[in-house]
Structure 1
Amino acid sequence: MLPALEQIASAPLSTDLSGIAGLAAALRPPRKGDPEAATGNVRTLTRLLHDNPHHAAALRSHLMHLLSTRRQVSLYTDTGILSNDGFFHELRRRIAYRVLPPALDERNLQDCLELVFPHESDHLWLQAVPFEAWDALWQAIAGAPQEQALNRAAASDQGKTLTELLQAIQVLSYRISAIGMEPELIRIYSDVKAFESPFLMQNVELHGWLESYRRRLQDDSAPVEDARHVMVLLDQCQEVVDKIRKHALRIGTSVSLTYRLLRLEQNLTRLRQLLALAEPAITDAQEQRRTGLALAMELVEAHNRKYTVRGLLAGNINLLARNITENASRTGEHYIAENRREFGAMYRSAAGAGLIIGFMALIKILFSYLHAAPLVEAFLFSMNYSLGFMLIHVLHFTVATKQPAMTASRIAADLHRSGDGRNLDIDSLVDVIVKVFRTQFVAVLGNLTIAFPMAYLLVTLWFHLSGNHFVDADKAAHLLHDLDPVGSLALFHAAIAGVCLFLAGLISGYYDNKALYTRMSQRVVRARWLTAVIGKRGAQKLGGYLETGLGGLMGNFYFGIMLGTIGTVGFMLGLPIDIRHITFSAANLAIAMEALQWNVGLHTFVLSAVGVLAVGAVNLWVSFALALFVALRSRQVRFRQGGKLLKALLARLAKKPGEFFWPPRDLPATSPQAENSSGSGSG
C-alpha cells in the first residue's frame, strides 16, 4: 500500500488513475469476497494514514481532484438504473457488450470504475467490509490537515463535484416526471391526474429547492428551502407505484409495464440517496456517511454487473412471473375439493376427461397407421392432443396432471402471505396440502377408472365390427414395453411430459394475464366483422369467455403441440426423447390387453400397471416441483421449514390417513368455485 500512497503523495493533483487503481489492487483480498482479509486490508490502510497524515491529506486532495475533473452525472443517473430503451433492447445490448465491450472514455467517471475495479467480483470484497471499518478510513482521510494550496484546490474541486451532483438530481427528477406520466401507467391507475400528480409536483418542489441551494452556494447567508418536502413527494410517488403493482395483480401486466415500474423505482431510490448526500439537514452526519457508502457500493456492484444478462432477467421476469403465477393461483382454487360434494364433482369432472382421452388414444394410433412424413405425423398428433384437450376444457372436465401447476401456485400464495416462512401456520399449510393431495387422488382415479374401460370398450367394438384387433401382437407388445418402468425409458419420458405440463401451466397464466391486461372482452365487442357474424350479444358472451378462459384454451393448445411434436423431434435428431402421460398410458394398456386377449403373464400385466402409476407419479411430481419452485421464486419466498412441515404431514398421515384420500363428513363447503369443480376446466 505504501508505494501507491507515495505515488499519490508525489502528485496529489494529478489526473492519472494508476495511483488509485494500485491502491484498490492492494486492498483487494487474494480470494474474492473474503471478509476477514478485506477488512484487515482496510484497517491496515487506516493505520497507515493515521501514522502518515501527509499521505492522508494527499489522498484526500487526489480523490477530490479526480472527481472534479471527470463528468459525474452519468455515473449517478445511469449506473445501476435501467435504460429508457426498453427490456428487449437492454437485453440485446448486454448480450452484445458481453461479446465485444464498448470503448472507454476516462473523462467519464462512470468509465473510470473499469480501471479502478476491473474484476466482476470487486463488489463482493467491498461489501464484505463492515461500515465501521470504512467509516474509520473515511475519518482518517477527511480529518487530515492540509496545506493552504491544497485547501484552495480542494474547495474548488468540492464545488465542481457538488455542481455535478445537483445536475444529477435534476436529471433524475425530470426522468421520474416523464416515466410517472406514461399513458400505460395512467391507464392502470387513472386516479393520478395530470395537475395533482406527485410525479410532476416533486419536480416543481425540487426545482425551487435547487434554485435556493444554488443561491446559497453563491451567498452563504441566503436561505435554503427544506428538502424534506421533496422527500415527502417522493414517498407519495412510491405509494403510487405500489398501488399500480397491486392493480396489475388484478388486471394483468406486461413486460413494458414491469420494466417501467422497475426503472421508476430505481430512479426514486437514487434520487433519495443523492438528496441525502447533498442536503445535510435530511439526516445526521453518520447516516449521511452510511448513505454515501451504500451508494458507492451500489455503483460498484452495478458497474461490475452492468453486462450480466441474469441480473436483468431476475429483476423483470420475476415480477412478470409473479403476475402469471398469481393467475394460476386463482385458478388453483378450482382444483381443491373442500368437502364430499366437491370431491364427487371432481371425480365426475375427471371421469369426463377420461372418456374423451379414451377416444384420443385410439385416434392417435389411427394416425400412426397413415405412415405419413414425420412433420405431417407430428402435426396430426399435435392436433389430436390439442383439440382433445381444448374440448375437455370447454366441457369443464379435468385432466389430473394439469392440477399441480395450479395448486402449487395456490400453496406458494399461502407461503407468501406468511412473509418469509418463519411465521407460517404449519397446521394450516398441512390442511391445504392434504386437500390438494386427496383432490389429486380422486382426479387421477376419475381419469383412470374411465379411460381404461373406455379404451377397452372401443377396441372391443372395433373387433366385433371389423373382425380384426385394433393393433396387432407386435404393436401390443411394443405398447406394453413402453410402460415398463425398469426395461424402458418410461419414467424419463414421463419426466419430459411433466416439464410440458409445467410449461402449459405457465402459458395458461401468461394468456390469462394478457387477456386481463389487454381487456379482451372489450376488444372482441369492438370487432365489427365479428359482431356482424354473431351479433353484439354473441360477441359480448365470447369476449367475456375469452377474458376468463383464454389462458386455459391456449395452455391446452400448446400442451397438445408439445406432446405431439416431442417424439418426432427426438426421431429427427436421433435422441431417445418422447412423452408418457398417465391417462394415455392407461388407455394404451387397455388396447394392448384386448389385442393380446389377456394372454400375458401376471408379472407382465402387474409390471405394466405399476408402470402406468409410476408414469403418473413422475408426471405429477415434476410438474408440481417446477411450478412450486417458480411460484416461490416469483414471490421471493424462501421456505425454511421443510423439515417441520414434513413431520407435521407424517403426523397427520399416522393420525388420520383416511383424510388423504377421502374428505371428512363434517367439513362444510367453503369454496363456491370448487362447488363447480366439474366446470372448472383444465385440459
Structure 2
Amino acid sequence: MEHCLQAMVDAPASTALENVRALIGAIRPKQASDSATAINNLRALSFLLEQHPAYREALRTQLDQLMGNTRQVQLYTDTGILSNEPLLAGLRRRIGERLLPIKPRPELLKDVFGLLFDRKDDYLWLTEIPYQVWADMCHSLMLDVEFRPDRYSQLQRLEAIQVLSCRIATIGLEPELVQNSPDMARFESPFVRQNVETQSFIENYRNALVAETELDDDQKQIMVLLDQCTEQIGRIRKHALRHGVSVSLTYHLLRLEQHIERMQTLLELVDPVPSPNWGPSLLRLFLQLVQAENRKHSLRDVLRENTELLALQVTEHASHTGEHYIAESRREWLGMFRAAAGAGIIVGFMALLKILIAKAHLPPLIEAIAFGLNYGIGFIIVHLLHCTIATKQPAMTAATIAATLPPPGSKSVEGYSALVELIVKVARTQFIAIMGNVLLAMPVALGLALLWSHYLGEPFINLDKAGVLLHDLRPLEGLGLPHAAIAGVWLFLAGLISGYYDNKALYHRLPERIAAHPLLNRLLGEHRSWKLGRYVEHNLGALAGNFYFGMMLGLTGFVGFLLGLPLDIRHITFSSANLAFVAAAVDFNLSWQIALLGLAGVAIIGATNLTVSFTLALWTAMRSRQRLLSELKPLLGMLLKHFMRRPQDFFIAPRQPKNSETTAGESA
C-alpha cells in the first residue's frame, strides 16, 4: 500500500487511473467475505496519510485528476437505476455485453468507476466497512486542507439533477400513472412542479458559481415537492391494490422511486452548507454505485427484478383471497369443514370418472385432455357450490402471512406474536379442511364402488388395478413422493394464476365493461348484466385457477409420455378415494399392515402437496416484497412454545375469536 502511495508522488496526470486502481487493489481483501482485512487495510491507509503529508497531497491530486477530467453525469443518472427497457431487451443487452464487452471510455466516470471496482464482489467487502472507518480515512486525507466540493463536480451533479428531474416529470405523466391517480386531474401534478422548481434552483446555483457569490436559494422547496411525489406514489399504489395493477405500472413506480431517491441524495451533496447527513449520504450513494456497477452484467438480476414485479402483481390479490381461508372462530372452523366435506363428495365422483376414462383406453392426447377436463370441470363445480379443496389454501394463505410480517429489521415481539397467531389459525383451518376432504372422499368413493359391483355384478376395478393403485401410494417405490411434489408445484401455480386473473379483472375493468355491454344488456337486462359483472370480478381468478390446475394435473402424465419420463401427479384427496376403491376391490380383505401403509402413503402425499405449494407460495410472496425467508426464523421457536403450551390451538378453533373475548371482557 505504501508502495502505491509512493508511486503517486510526482506522478503525471495520465497515470491517475492506474495508480488509484493499484491502491484499491492493495486495500481489497483476497476473499470478499474477509471484511476484517478490508477494515484493517483502510485503517492502515488512514495511518499512512496522517504520517506522510506528501502521500496526502499525491492522493488528493490523483483523485482530482480522475474527477476533473471525466464526465460524471451518466454515473449519477444511469448506474443503479432501472432502465426503460423490457425484459427480453435487457437480457439481450447483458448477454451481448458479456460475450463482446464494450470498450471502456476514459472520459466517462461511469466507465472509470467500473475499471476501479472491476471485481464482481467488490461491493460485498466495501459494504461491511463501518461508516466511522470511512470517516477517519476521509479526515486523514483532508487533514491539512479545508474541505470544499470542487466547482466542476458540483456542476456535474447539477446537470445530473436536471436530468433526473426531467425524467421524474416524464414518468409521472405516463398515461398509466395518471389513470391510477384519482386526484391528478384536480390538482397540479407534483411531478411537473418539482421540475419547474428544479430548473429555477439550478439556474440560480450556476449563476452563483459563476459570480462566486453566496446562493440566495436552497433546495428545501424541491425536497418538499419530492416528498409530495413520494406521497403521490403511495396513493397510486393504494388505488392500484383496489383496482388492479400491471407489471408496467409497478415498473414505472419503482423507476420513479429510484429517481426520486437519487435526486434527493444529489441535492444533499450540492448543498453549499454541508449537513450532518452529507457524509452518510455520499457513502450510501458510493456503495449503491459500486454494487450496481459490479452487477451490471448479471442476468439473474434482470430476471429477479422482473419476476419480483410479476410476483408482486399476483400475490397482492392472492393475499386478499387468502383471508377467506383462515377461520377465526369455532363457527367459521366448522363452516370450513362443511365446505371441505362438500368438496370431498365431489372428488369421490371425480376419482370414479378418472378411472372410467382410463378404462376407455383413449389415444394418449385425448385421454390426457379428458383427464384434465374431469379435474378442471370438477374443481369449477367445487367452487360454484362454495366448497373447498384443502390443498389450495397454502398458495393463498402464504401471501397473507408474508403481508403480516413486521417491518424489515424489526425485532418487535408483538409483531411476531401476531404472525404466530395467524399461522396457528392457518394450521387449524388447513387441518379441518383436510379432514373434511378425506373423511368424505373415502366413504363416497367406497359407496360408489359398492353400488357399481351391486348393480353391474362386477367389481369397479380388478385386482391388478387395485395393486397398481396401492403401489402408487408408496412414497419411494411407487414414486408417490415426487409425484405429490409435482402436484404441489401445480397447486402453487394455480394460486398465482388465480391472483393474476383477479388482478386482470380489476385492472381492465371487466365488471364495468360486462355491465355496459349492449348485447348483454339486451339479452339479460341491465340488472342481470351488472350482477354478471360483479360475479366475474369476484370469481374470475378462482374459476381460471381451478380450470388451469385441473388441466395441469391431467396433462402431466402425457408430458411424461412424450419425454419418456415417469411423470404423474398424486393428490391427497384423490389418493384417499383410490385407497377406498382398493378396499372395495379386495372385498375389505386388507391386512391391517397394508391398510396402515396405505393411510401413511396418503398422509405423506398430503404433507408433500401442502409443503411444496406452501413453500413456493411463501417464497414468492416474500420475494415480491423483497423480504428474506431468514426473517421467519424467530417464528420457529415461538411456534414450538405455543404448541407445547396449547397444542389444541393447532387443530381446534376457539368458540369465539380472541378479539371478541377481549371486547366482551371490556364491555363487562
Moved more, 371-380 or 522-531: 522-531
Q: Does 1:221 align with 2:195?
A: no
Moved more, 107-116 or 570-579: 570-579
Identity over the aligned pairs, expressed in percent?
48
Partner of 1:451: 441
Cα offset for 1:409? 2.9
Specify whether residues 35 and 605 from structure 1 end up closer, same or farther in structure 2 by C-alpha distance, changes over 3 A only: closer
CA distance in 2, matches of 1:134, 1:313: 34
CA distance in 2, matches of 1:45, 1:113: 20
Cα offset for 1:530? 4.7
Specify whether residues 428 and 137 from structure 1 end up closer, same or farther in structure 2 by C-alpha distance, changes over 3 A only: closer
- Correspondent of 2:503 among 505, 513, 520: 513
CA distance in 2, matches of 1:9, 1:279: 32
Q: Does 1:68 align with 2:68?
A: yes
Question: Scaled by the length of structure 2, what TM-score is found?
Answer: 0.91
Residue 246 of structure 2 contacts residue 313 of structure 2 at CA under 8 Å; is this kept in 1?
no
Alignment of 1:128-167 (within 5 A): 128-144=128-144, 158-167=150-159
Specify whether residues 263 and 91 from structure 1 end up closer, same or farther in structure 2 by C-alpha distance, changes over 3 A only: farther
Specify whether residues 574 and 537 from structure 1 end up closer, same or farther in structure 2 by C-alpha distance, changes over 3 A only: same
Deviations 1:50-105, CA, capped at 9 Å, x for gaps:
33323322322222222222221111100001112245533443344344433322
Cα offset for 1:532? 5.3
CA distance in 1, matches of 2:113, 2:636: 45
SS in 2 for 1:641: helix
SS in 1 for 2:632: coil
Specify whether residues 65 and 485 from structure 1 end up closer, same or farther in structure 2 by C-alpha distance, changes over 3 A only: closer
Partner of 1:676: none
Alignment of 1:434-473 (within 5 A): 434-473=424-463
Deviations 1:233-290, CA, capped at 9 Å, x for gaps:
1111111112222222332222111111111111111111111111133x42x53233
Partner of 1:305: 295
Alignment of 1:147-546 (within 5 A): 158-193=150-185, 196-221=188-213, 223-281=215-273, 283-284=274-275, 287-315=277-305, 317-318=307-308, 320-416=310-406, 420=410, 422-424=412-414, 428-485=418-475, 487-528=477-518, 530-531=520-521, 533-546=523-536
SS in 2 for 1:307: coil
SS in 2 for 1:409: helix
Matching residue's letter, 1:613: A
Specify whether residues 10 and 538 from structure 1 end up closer, same or farther in structure 2 by C-alpha distance, changes over 3 A only: same
Partner of 1:615: 605
Cα offset for 1:192? 2.4
SS in 2 for 1:17: helix
CA distance in 1, matches of 2:199, 2:539: 50
Greater relative contact order, per chain length (Cα 8 Å cut-off, separation 6+): 1
CA distance in 2, matches of 1:573, 1:144: 74
Cα offset for 1:527? 4.3
Q: Does 1:593 align with 2:583?
A: yes
Residue 33 of structure 1 contacts residue 121 of structure 1 at CA under 8 Å; is this kept in 2?
no
CA distance in 2, matches of 1:171, 1:354: 61
Cα offset for 1:172? 0.6
Residue 420 of structure 1 contacts residue 639 of structure 1 at CA under 8 Å; is this kept in 2?
no
SS in 2 for 1:543: helix
Residue 249 of structure 1 contacts residue 323 of structure 1 at CA under 8 Å; is this kept in 2?
no
SS in 1 for 2:50: helix
Q: Does 1:556 align with 2:549?
A: no
CA distance in 2, matches of 1:483, 1:111: 60
CA distance in 2, matches of 1:257, 1:5: 50
Partner of 1:149: none
Cα offset for 1:210? 0.9
Moved more, 182-191 or 538-547: 538-547
CA distance in 1, matches of 2:297, 2:186: 36
Q: Does 1:639 align with 2:614?
A: no
Alignment of 1:550-589 (within 5 A): 550-589=540-579
Deviations 1:491-522, CA, capped at 9 Å, x for gaps:
23222222221221122122222222222212
Residue 371 of structure 2 contacts residue 555 of structure 2 at CA under 8 Å; is this kept in 1?
yes
Specify whether residues 544 and 2 from structure 1 end up closer, same or farther in structure 2 by C-alpha distance, changes over 3 A only: same
Cα offset for 1:212? 1.0
CA distance in 2, matches of 1:109, 1:427: 49
- Correspondent of 1:606 among 591, 596, 600: 596
Deviations 1:504-560, CA, capped at 9 Å, x for gaps:
112212222222222221232344455555444443222211111111111111211
CA distance in 2, matches of 1:221, 1:429: 58
Partner of 1:114: 114
CA distance in 2, matches of 1:234, 1:615: 54
SS in 1 for 2:236: helix
Specify whether residues 172 and 665 from structure 1 end up closer, same or farther in structure 2 by C-alpha distance, changes over 3 A only: closer
SS in 2 for 1:424: helix
CA distance in 2, matches of 1:419, 1:435: 25
Partner of 2:77: 77
Aligned residues: 658
Specify whether residues 315 and 413 from structure 1 end up closer, same or farther in structure 2 by C-alpha distance, changes over 3 A only: same
Cα offset for 1:195? 6.1
SS in 1 for 2:248: helix
Partner of 1:649: 642
Specify whether residues 176 and 2 from structure 1 end up closer, same or farther in structure 2 by C-alpha distance, changes over 3 A only: same
Specify whether residues 136 and 34 from structure 1 end up closer, same or farther in structure 2 by C-alpha distance, changes over 3 A only: same
Deviations 1:188-210, CA, capped at 9 Å, x for gaps:
12212486211111111111111
Deviations 1:99-118, CA, capped at 9 Å, x for gaps:
44333222221111222111
Cα offset for 1:460? 2.8
Partner of 2:666: none
Cα offset for 1:127? 2.2
Cα offset for 1:383? 1.4
Cα offset for 1:184? 1.1
Cα offset for 1:483? 1.6
SS in 2 for 1:306: coil
Moved more, 258-267 or 410-419: 410-419
Matching residue's letter, 1:610: A
SS in 2 for 1:415: coil
Specify whether residues 372 and 39 from structure 1 end up closer, same or farther in structure 2 by C-alpha distance, changes over 3 A only: same
CA distance in 2, matches of 1:647, 1:442: 20
CA distance in 1, matches of 2:411, 2:366: 50
Partner of 1:681: none
Cα offset for 1:145? 6.4
Specify whether residues 128 and 334 from structure 1 end up closer, same or farther in structure 2 by C-alpha distance, changes over 3 A only: closer
Deviations 1:403-433, CA, capped at 9 Å, x for gaps:
2222333333333479846333666545444
CA distance in 1, matches of 2:409, 2:499: 23
CA distance in 1, matches of 2:216, 2:228: 23
Residue 385 of structure 1 contacts residue 563 of structure 1 at CA under 8 Å; is this kept in 2?
yes
RMSD: 2.8
Moved more, 432-441 or 213-222: 432-441
Specify whether residues 359 and 196 from structure 1 end up closer, same or farther in structure 2 by C-alpha distance, changes over 3 A only: same
Specify whether residues 317 and 423 from structure 1 end up closer, same or farther in structure 2 by C-alpha distance, changes over 3 A only: farther
Residue 504 of structure 1 contacts residue 555 of structure 1 at CA under 8 Å; is this kept in 2?
yes
Partner of 2:665: none
Partner of 1:17: 17
